[in-house]
Structure 1
Amino acid sequence: MSQDVDFIPKPYATYPENGRFEWSAPSNIALVKYWGKIEPQLPANPSISFTLDSCKTVTELEFSKRANDGNFSFDLLFEAQPKEDFKPKIIKFFERIERYLPFLKDYHFKIDTRNTFPHSSGIASSASGMAALSVNLMSLEKALNPQMTDDHFWKKASFLARLGSGSACRSVKGEVVVWGKHAEIEGSSDLFGVEFPFGIHPNFKNYQDAILLVEKGQKEVSSTVGHDLMIGHPFAERRFEQAHENLSKVKNSLVSGDLESFISIVESEALTLHAMMMTSNPYFILMKPNTLEIINKIWKFRRETAMPVCFTLDAGANVHVLYPENVAVEVLQFIKDELVAFCKNGEYICDRIGAGAQNF
């Protein structure tokens, strides 16, 4: 079993003077939710997610050798403009990962990052952003250690991303990714995400995700605050057990192609996530009236058409509409006819399952 010490490198043989890398990494949507964590960024329960394709962060990392003065040195641009308010998060990330990337203070970095999805769209960018930065940093480490294996590269990239944002470890590699130790997932770990190790039924190939933007802008409750609310939560332990059980069921559905079971578990997980927030102390209701309108419309449409369309939610008001590619025409027409009216400015984003980070 991998330990964090496995990611502490031996002394490097060479230090490149300068260079640049560019990677993209996608957002992801959890099917079985991670809610509750143990420091440092370890999940209280396992989760499984679809990696998205179009909603991603593109990050360019330029580096140049410098005298190590004991401090981190970097410039940060977001969509070509300086972004000073992002810097504390990057500093905290560098502090967490310096043990595993001891070259960080030997270089000055220029980090230039942008999202392919609209600014303040309500789509969390921390997962894609930290994943994109992590694979860039791993490209630099591979330049310092050319003997590094691909397996180590991807595991460590996911490991580092997790230390920036927990769910970021699910945005590094794979169409379906499991994070957190689970008895039925070989190689699964709390330290990094792993690709789903079983063949996925054709029903789930190129699965679609339409993201309905009910609300835009900053989240009402940060993920850190939300996860902390699971400490001492009266239903926490049973919830963690339930996540293990539901991951087993989703695994079976993905392998067998059982869409009915998949829909039942995925929707239940979404509502359970919000139920945990509504029963915490302090408590929050992050769904909005339009979120509920959309959910009820989806249920009605599914009853009347028998089409395998379902929803899931993150810790916010926006709705992810999930459906197989072979019903895309009908579902998109349904979205235009009946759901767009409940979206902020009528906005929604069409996406699908993707494969993870990509090098430019």
Structure 2
Amino acid sequence: MTEKDFIPSAYTKTAHRGSFEWSAPSNIALVKYWGKKENQVPANPSISFTLNECKTITKLTYEHKEDADRVSFDLLFEGQPKESFRPKIEKFFDRVAQYLPFLKEYHFTIDTRNTFPHSSGIASSASGMAALVMNLMSLERLLSPDMADDYFYKKASFLARLGSGSACRSINGSVVVWGEHAEIEGSSDLFGLPFTAEVHEIFRNYQDTILLVDKGEKQVSSTVGHDLMHGHPFAERRFAQAHENLSTTRKALTDGDVDTFIKIVESEALTLHAMMMTSLPYFILMKPNTLEIINRIWKFRSETGIPVCFTLDAGANVHVLYPENVAVKVLDFIKSELLGYCQNNQYICDEIGTGAVNLQY
């Protein structure tokens, strides 16, 4: 498919006022996307686990208006006006206007909330954009009721990508690939694709306990970080490595090879932060407690043989990944040895989820 496939022909129905409500989850990349081309196209493919509990819940109310010269909307975050979010939403609407030509015909009220701390390294932009897009696609489907499900979800992922790259991986579950890859049929830079191979049962209920090392705003946004991959001395080798690691991860997920999974996932997390530390300007998003947690996880795994590992997003928080069948032992370890390194002893227990959910059904 190309971008043109997502430009609709004339709508067959009309809608005057109403509302939709969707939840969309965050996701955690196993093979990381870092660096992008024009129009939110990734410089390398990535693969992620869709989460279940860390999500954004967004209600979109729409009302038809007479003046159709510009997009108009009110934005509420956790019940209160949030003007600081407005520029990002306006930029998103500008990007998607040709694909959603009805946008200027309505006034929208966007009422959104998270089940996790905003801007704390848990990809709130991914879940937020995904939830908003699912509502907009529901409205488009009302105007074009013959829309097929496959097209609905591909276009949703395509649009979400234009708001936040990783948001395209938050539409579906439970394992999602984004970016063209030679071994994955149908993979695309334009949208995320559910992993179609049979995932081994050991990975089907995988757990993700997120240790909140630092709940504050990141000093450097992901957008700025991605831009610093242009001209990065290690960029081309990194992009090639991501393709190689995706091949290896794909096989590990189908074979149930937890040891290989651990090696790739931890290496990818450290590589992501190595790219940040070797860009110009350089920056460090890990905190001292991030490193303490990593070292304790390594020590615990070495001493017990329990297959627990870590990954990181573009922030200081640590995602602790492990199979469901060792959950009791790992949670005991987390509570006894790791919580002291978390801000206010806070953590979130999550697991693989299924993607966006329509809350009006």
Taking structure 2 as the reference length, the TM-score comes to 0.98
Query: How big is the shift at 1:113?
Result: 0.4
Q: Hey, what's the Cα distance between the residues in 1 that align with 2:7 and 2:119?
A: 37
Whether the aligned pair in 1 keeps the contact of 2:117 and 2:215 (CA below 8 Å) is no
Query: How big is the shift at 1:13?
Result: 1.6
Query: How big is the shift at 1:351?
Result: 0.2
Letter in 2 for 1:88: P
Q: Hey, what's the Cα distance between the residues in 2 that align with 1:120 and 1:138?
A: 25
Whether the aligned pair in 1 keeps the contact of 2:130 and 2:167 (CA below 8 Å) is yes
Superposed, which structure 2 residues align to 1:180-199 within 5 Å?
Answer: 180-199=179-198
Provide the secondary structure at the position in 1 that maps to 2:162: helix
Superposed, which structure 2 residues align to 1:39-78 within 5 Å?
Answer: 39-78=38-77
Query: How big is the shift at 1:5?
Result: 0.2
Letter in 1 for 2:320: V
What residue is the counterpart of 1:34 in the other structure? 33
Query: How big is the shift at 1:220?
Result: 1.2
Whether the aligned pair in 1 keeps the contact of 2:169 and 2:192 (CA below 8 Å) is yes
Whether the aligned pair in 1 keeps the contact of 2:120 and 2:317 (CA below 8 Å) is no
Question: Structure 1: 5+ residue runs without aligned partners?
Answer: none
What residue is the counterpart of 2:328 in the other structure? 329
Q: Hey, what's the Cα distance between the residues in 1 that align with 2:137 and 2:233?
A: 40
Letter in 2 for 1:336: K
Letter in 2 for 1:113: T
Superposed, which structure 2 residues align to 1:212-223 within 5 Å?
Answer: 212-223=211-222
Which range moves more in the overlay, 163-172 or 80-89? Answer: 80-89
Query: How big is the shift at 1:118?
Result: 3.6
Query: How big is the shift at 1:85?
Result: 1.3
Query: How big is the shift at 1:119?
Result: 4.7
What residue is the counterpart of 1:171 in the other structure? 170
Q: Answer yes or no: is 1:276 the counterpart of 2:275.
A: yes
CA RMSD of superposed structures (Å): 0.8
- Offset from partner CA, 1:160-180 (integer Å, 9 cap, x none): 000000000000012000000
Runs ≥4 residues deviating over 3 A: 118-122
What residue is the counterpart of 1:97 in the other structure? 96
Change (3 A) 1:48 1:72: same
Superposed, which structure 2 residues align to 1:259-298 within 5 Å?
Answer: 259-298=258-297
Which range moves more in the overlay, 283-292 or 97-106? Answer: 283-292
Provide the secondary structure at the position in 2 that maps to 1:139: helix
Q: Hey, what's the Cα distance between the residues in 2 that align with 1:203 and 1:149?
A: 33
- Offset from partner CA, 1:130-159 (integer Å, 9 cap, x none): 000001000000000000000000000000
Whether the aligned pair in 1 keeps the contact of 2:175 and 2:195 (CA below 8 Å) is yes
How many residues get paired? Answer: 359
Provide the secondary structure at the position in 2 that maps to 1:355: coil
Provide the secondary structure at the position in 2 that maps to 1:243: helix
Q: Hey, what's the Cα distance between the residues in 1 that align with 2:149 and 2:10?
A: 19
Q: Hey, what's the Cα distance between the residues in 1 that align with 2:277 and 2:343?
A: 24
Query: How big is the shift at 1:68?
Result: 3.2
What residue is the counterpart of 1:244 in the other structure? 243
What residue is the counterpart of 1:133 in the other structure? 132
Query: How big is the shift at 1:122?
Result: 4.3
Q: Answer yes or no: is 1:348 the counterpart of 2:350.
A: no
Q: Hey, what's the Cα distance between the residues in 2 that align with 1:334 and 1:273?
A: 26
Identity between Structure 1 and Structure 2 (%): 73
